[in-house]
Amino acid sequence: NAGVTQTPKFRILKIGQSMTLQCAQDMNHNYMYWYRQDPGMGLKLIYYSVGAGITDKGEVPNGYNVSRSTTEDFPLRLELAAPSQTSVYFCASSSIDRNTEAFFGQGTRLTVV
Partner 1 sequence: GENVEQHPSTLSVQEGDSAVIKCTYSDSASNYFPWYKQELGKRPQLIIDIRSNVGEKKDQRIAVTLNKTAKHFSLHITETQPEDSAVYFCAAKTDSWGKLQFGAGTQVVVTP
- Residue 65 has a CB neighbour count (10 Å cut-off) of 14
3-state SS class at 82: coil
Pairing status of strand 10-13 against strand 108-112? parallel
Q: Give, as ranges, the residues between 38 and 97 that touch partner 1 (CB under 8 A).
A: 41-45, 48, 50, 56, 58, 90, 92, 94, 96
* Binding test (CB under 8 A) with partner 1, winner from 7, 30, 65, 67: 30
* Binding test (CB under 8 A) with partner 1, winner from 13, 21, 25, 35: 35
Percent helix, strand, coil in the chain, to 5, is 5, 50, 45
3-state SS class at 85: helix
- Give whichever of 42 and 113 is closer to partner 1, judged by the CB atom: 42
* Binding test (CB under 8 A) with partner 1, winner from 13, 24, 25, 31: 31
* Binding test (CB under 8 A) with partner 1, winner from 2, 39, 98, 113: 98
CA of residue 87 relative to chain centroid, distance: 12
3-state SS class at 83: helix
Q: Which positions lie near partner 1, rule CB under 8 A?
A: 30-31, 33, 35, 41-45, 48, 50, 56, 58, 90, 92, 94, 96, 98-102, 104-107
